[in-house]
Chains A and B, each alone.
Chain A
Amino acid sequence: MSNTDPKLPYAITLDPGTSLANHTGSWRTFMPVYRDALPPCNNACPAGENIQGWLYHAEEGNYQAAWNVLVQDNPMPAIMGRVCYHPCESACNRKDLDEAVAVHAVERFLGDEALKQGWMPEATHADTGKRVLVVGAGPSGLSAAYHLRRLGHAVTIREAGPMAGGMMRFGIPKYRLPRDILDGEIARIVNFGVTLELNQKVEDIPAAFESEGFDAVFIAVGAHLAKRIDIPAHAAGRILDAASVLHDMETSPEPLQLGRRVIVYGGGNTAMDVARTAKRLGAEEAMIVYRRSRTEMPAHDFEATEAEQEGVLIHWLRTIKHIDETTFTVEKMEIDANGRPQATGEFETLEADTLIMALGQDVDTSFLQSVPGVKIARDGVVDVDEHMMTGYTGLFAGGDMVPSERTVTVAVGHGKKAAHHIDAWLKGQTYVKPAKHPLAAFDKLNTWYYDDAPQLVQPQLDIIRRQTSFDEVIGDLDESTALFEARRCLSCGNCFECDNCYGVCPDNAVKKLGPGKRFEFLYDFCKGCGLCAAECPCGAIDMIPEAS
């Protein structure tokens, strides 16, 4: 009926809102559906962090909630926020708009906040009664231990060295990773219920199973054997290796004496760190000799830049041909069409009293040679299957010692992955990773809705102190800047409740469910115009053909 009041003029006067009886949903040929797509940052994170997920809470200023989400995947945000090379940021869609979100800076802020406030991760599983041995307290071992503990297993870490941390302590210098931070996060893992045994080099793996009764073993012993090459030398001066230098930095009670003029040979992160360390130790000249050019170097560009800022001189495209006391004869190189360095036959000389080799490390696999089934791959690394298990049943491995990129983040990721596989294996199951959502690509975003907000720059230590002390170079974001940075997240592929769909629907066919509950389509009325999908800033709505 047009109106229910019989006094009203028939047909031309109508009761309000009566069109609700007309279900325009029948017009639809395409229907909108909310989807959750995989943000590129999450996709790129080797530790499998749900970056967008924790940024979501950080955006609201709810840092503890953010941290709780973060530590579901990574138990060391304060460390990670400092040393991770953040592939997430290289993948971040925002870089195509202005600059990537400084994920690492927010992560670091959260990590520091947790240490300050003493936040503890929540235990998620009841005790299983299973015992797992973790060999090596580097990031991979620590991560595995933490995750296994979360899953309810009793975990013991055995570490050969006097302190936990692996290369985070014996590689990465203090000025990039202050030790109180490192110590704080390791202590939290230990306090979480993990047994850490130091100065316990594990030599006999089968014994751990058989005589000690561990149900599973995860090894992550890293790669600590410095690679060497032979350089023809007439009474060579002092020749050191980078790994030892950095190691000694940590353990030596006396400050190291490296000499007035130091040449570091290599172009990786280690080379950069050791050259910068030399500078800080008072070398008047800290030089890097590297056989290729800046474009080919394995170190990250920012590391070379920071080294140069601090006064490290990098000699690109040079190989050391000959050493005569303090005189180094170097040959100029050229990059050929294949990107390989080729000798040119032109020579120069450099003067130095110390040479530090930074040519990479190999894995010490000696204690594994005798373990049945364990295969050592060509590069001297240990082979694992897709469940991170070696050829020896119940023995798993990860981190620098297995074939992969050698970073803290990958190591942490391996630790988590291995923990899941070990957990499943202990239960007689196989761990299947939840299927990935489709990737939230930049072209699905409607970037109009985001304001221009370039990345915030973290403060840097002044140059004099950088050259003379081991104080941390890169500073913290404070609360407000961390909040700003978190809010730069575009929330690619996942609804962040901007209300756009609710607002732009000409048919009011979107229902708002309230904070945190997102929205719902009213398919009785949705005509399928697609405006909601087109105007969703983050591409969280798909238009799919209507089932006929």
Chain B
Amino acid sequence: MHHQIEGSEAVARAVALCRPEVVCAYPITPQTHIVEGVGALVKKGQLTDCEFINVESEFAALSVAIGASAAGARTYTATASQGLLFMAEAVYNAAGLGLPIVMTIGNRAIGAPINIWNDHSDSMSMRDAGWIQLYAETNQEAVDLHIQAFRLAEELSCPVMVCMDGFILTHAYERIDLPSQQEVDAFLPRFEPVQVLDPAHPYSIGAMVGPEAFTEVRYLAHDKQVQALQLIPEIGQVFSEVFGRASGGLIHEYKSDGAETIVVALGSVNGTIKEVIDVMRGDGLAIGSVSICSFRPFPLDELRDALKSAKRVVVIEKNLAPGLGGVLASNVRMALRGATATVYTVIAGLGGRPILMNSLHDVFIAASEDKLTDVQFLDLNQAVVDLELERARTTRHSGPTAESILRQNAKVGE
């Protein structure tokens, strides 16, 4: 059924359709509406047989989820930004224990300076924690990915993060096709854990493992992700058969066939990118894009294949690896090892800065003329940066940068 609703609300309802048994909630913008929504469904009695637990921190939220999942309950939580970092230790732990928890990340920047707006710094920080990371391009896809995520997690015994851009998706009202309970029930089997805390089978879960077996344990974690490369498209395929629409998979290609310039990005920015591509295609440029849905596991082969015609690849990157450039770009380079295409890193949309069509257009043009530097910051206010650098050079007690930039912004704006 179609609904005109907020992304968070849609995800809340999708999660509820998956019949989670334990849901832990802790507030942080922009994820908050999701858990509020699930909570309300529990309270209203629309989601039954579900324990909704208000906890005292994100660390506790994921810890509760770990316990619940280990005891065989289908478990869900959501967080963002500082919250994800606050639960970092548990994030690794859940994956290490092989617990199929599903967690939504309402992507948001990480402070300091504290910033509540969207970018991918939070989920990127946990990219190697052993979780599967899926990025939704639209709210419809966010809904669909959550339903697939439970099946994926439980089949593999591996936790899954569904990442959706904060505000851009979480707070956007759109028309969403929410499946019926019967459809979801048909798609998502009962949770049959491979291990469970059970007095009838008193295993010890979470043993200490030394050098004699740790490498093997880690190899198996890697292998699980490799298996996911198979499973994600399969589940996507089944999903489209049941629900009548394609959703999920490893990557989405857009006009990339035969393109010389191919743009690669994660999440909602792909919408903007596609619009720019449409314009540029109209102008006769051989440009296309690839949206990466599964960032972990990273679909090296699929991406390499999708990029085979490219002379250059422009990675639009909503996060920064200071001192290196972009995380996504580095991963893309890994996919293109041995190929001749140049990979440009464009850092864009940090801390919620709008990614404008014009700006993208300009940067794609420059790219197609190979006039880009290796690492590029989209819409960087060079004047402000220069002033600040100069100030820091000359004054020892230069004070906080963020505040100073705000002041200079004001000046430059005059």
Q: Give the docked Cα–Cα distance between A10 and B96 (Å).
A: 11
**Interface segment out of the listed A11-19, A112-120, A463-471, A487-495:** A11-19
In the complex, which residues 1-60 of chain A have their Cβ closer than 8 Å to any Cβ of chain B? 2-3, 7-16
A8 contacts B194, CB within 8 Å?
yes
- The smallest C-beta distance from B183 to any residue of chain A, in angstroms, reads 29
- The smallest C-beta distance from A15 to any residue of chain B, in angstroms, reads 7
B213 contacts A10, CB within 8 Å?
yes
In the complex, which residues 179-196 of chain B have their Cβ closer than 8 Å to any Cβ of chain A? 194-195
- The smallest C-beta distance from A5 to any residue of chain B, in angstroms, reads 8
Q: Which of B157, B195, B202, B207 contacts A11 (CB 8 A)?
A: B207
Q: Which of A10, A11, A15 contacts B203 (CB 8 A)?
A: A15
- Grouping DSSP codes into helix (H, G, I), strand (E, B) and loop, the B interface class, with mixed when no group exceeds half, is loop
Residue in chain A with minimal CB distance to B212: A11
Q: Give the docked Cα–Cα distance between A15 and B195 (Å).
A: 11
Residue in chain B with minimal CB distance to A2: B207
Q: Give the docked Cα–Cα distance between A9 and B209 (Å).
A: 12
A9 contacts B98, CB within 8 Å?
yes
Q: A2-B207, A16-B202 are in contact. Are A10 and B97 (CB under 8 A)?
A: no
A10 contacts B220, CB within 8 Å?
yes
A12 contacts B97, CB within 8 Å?
yes
Binary interface encoding of chain B residues 151-183 relative to chain A, with 1 for a CB under 8 A from any of its CBs, else 0: 000000100000000000000000000000000
Q: Give the docked Cα–Cα distance between A14 and B203 (Å).
A: 6
- The smallest C-beta distance from A11 to any residue of chain B, in angstroms, reads 4
B387 close to chain A: CB less than 8 A: no
Q: Inside 8 A of A3's CB, which chain B residues have their CB?
A: 203
- The smallest C-beta distance from A530 to any residue of chain B, in angstroms, reads 28
Q: Give the docked Cα–Cα distance between A15 and B203 (Å).
A: 5
Binary interface encoding of chain A residues 121-153 relative to chain B, with 1 for a CB under 8 A from any of its CBs, else 0: 000000000000000000000000000000000
Q: Give the docked Cα–Cα distance between A8 and B203 (Å).
A: 10
Q: Inside 8 A of B202's CB, which chain A residues have their CB?
A: 16
Q: A7-B194, A8-B194, A8-B195 are in contact. Are A13 and B216 (CB under 8 A)?
A: no
B213 contacts A11, CB within 8 Å?
yes
Binary interface encoding of chain B residues 107-123 relative to chain A, with 1 for a CB under 8 A from any of its CBs, else 0: 00000000000000000
- The smallest C-beta distance from A486 to any residue of chain B, in angstroms, reads 44
- The smallest C-beta distance from A22 to any residue of chain B, in angstroms, reads 13
B216 contacts A11, CB within 8 Å?
yes
In the complex, which residues 86-128 of chain B have their Cβ closer than 8 Å to any Cβ of chain A? 96-98
A14 contacts B204, CB within 8 Å?
yes
Q: Give the docked Cα–Cα distance between A11 and B204 (Å).
A: 10
B205 close to chain A: CB less than 8 A: yes
- Given A9-B157, A12-B206, A12-B209, 14 other A-B residues pairs in contact with their CB atoms under 8 A: A2-B207, A3-B203, A7-B194, A7-B195, A9-B195, A9-B205, A10-B220, A12-B96, A12-B97, A13-B195, A13-B206, A13-B207, A15-B203, A15-B204
Binding site for B on A (CB under 8 A): 2-3, 7-16
**Sampled A-B contacts (19; CB under 8 Å):** A7-B195, A9-B97, A9-B157, A9-B220, A10-B213, A10-B216, A10-B217, A10-B220, A11-B213, A11-B214, A11-B216, A12-B97, A12-B206, A12-B207, A13-B203, A13-B205, A15-B204, A16-B203, A16-B204
Smallest CB-CB A-B distances: 7 pairs? A11-B213, A14-B204, A16-B202, A11-B209, A9-B98, A7-B194, A13-B205
